[in-house]
Chains A and B, each alone.
Chain A
Amino acid sequence: MATALLIVHGLVAVALLGALTHQALAAWEPASARPGSFFGRFRTVPPASFASATVVLYAASALLGGIVYLYFRVDIRPDLERAGHWPALGFFDLKEHFAAIGLALLPAYWVCWRRPRADEPVRTRAALTTVLAFIVWWSFLTGHVLNNMRGFGS
């Protein structure tokens, strides 16, 4: 059960990673990019259309992560503690903290993209998206590394 949940958690995270990275780059990419370039094509998609999908994927990933965390705390973390993998556990703690902060930002993130106000700086939503993208990248890489160190079922 835990392994299946972890795999689904990982798959949802991959989709979320793609959506947020695409959106963050599209939000920051200056208008001078050549249309035929990779980044130019990146900009041709409307970043606002990723917002709802990102919210759903982030919430689903957080929910799955929250469930898998129960198994991690009982079956995995004690082994990592006994093995002295303190820095890895520190990185994982940061993943927990960052993910919680990101989860609370979702309503504001959605409002910024789906209900933008004319007098609101475009940089605000670009920066907010970048913060969320950083959180998702951090969480993905940390979770991946920890799973490599002591994966479920090992």
Chain B
Amino acid sequence: MTSSHAFRRFAFAYGTAFAVLYVVALKLDLALFTVYPSLGIVLPGTHHSRDVTGPSMAFLAPAIYWYGWTATGALGALMVGLVAAFVPARWARRIWPGWLWVVPALAMVACVYLTMPWFRL
């Protein structure tokens, strides 16, 4: 019974925290790692091409940040979720359960805002 309640608190905190932390990672470009699929290498942290003389080189070695942003959000949310699992149940009951869908919905709106530059090109 207790573990079931703890998992509930973990799950609710994880979902909402991930939504917030993912947007933060996206905005601040905080990828836990960068993947170069064509080269088959993974580098820790966020890496952007510094080749100003030949920007077309990016086509040869495209970088993937999405995995890294997701990992950043997942790691942060895991910590928040674990803390929430050990929070006394009476504290958790004071939190409005609607945040569970409101926060992700707002995070999605924030993602739309951060993606707007694509539509202005």
Q: How many residues of chain A get a CB closer than 8 Å to chain B's CBs?
A: 43
- Nearest-neighbour CB distance to chain B for A71, whole angstroms, equals 8
Known A115-B4, A128-B100; contact A105-B118, beta-carbon cutoff 8 A:
no
Contact call B104/A105, Cβ cutoff below 8 A: yes
- Interface size bracket, B side: 35 or more
Known A73-B62, A101-B18; contact A87-B101, beta-carbon cutoff 8 A:
no
- Nearest-neighbour CB distance to chain A for B42, whole angstroms, equals 12
Known A77-B62, A124-B101, A127-B98; contact A97-B73, beta-carbon cutoff 8 A:
no
Stretch in contact with the other chain, from A13-21, A36-44, A106-114, A145-153: A106-114
Contact call B108/A98, Cβ cutoff below 8 A: yes
A104 interface contact, C-beta 8 A: yes
The chain B residues found within 8 Å of chain A, CB to CB, are 4, 7-8, 10-12, 14-15, 18-19, 22, 26, 35, 37-38, 59, 62, 64, 66-67, 69-70, 73-74, 77, 97-98, 100-101, 104-105, 107-108, 111-112, 115-116, 118-119, 121
Enumerate 5 A-B pairs (CB-CB under 8 Å) in ascending A order: A101-B22, A104-B14, A104-B74, A111-B11, A111-B12
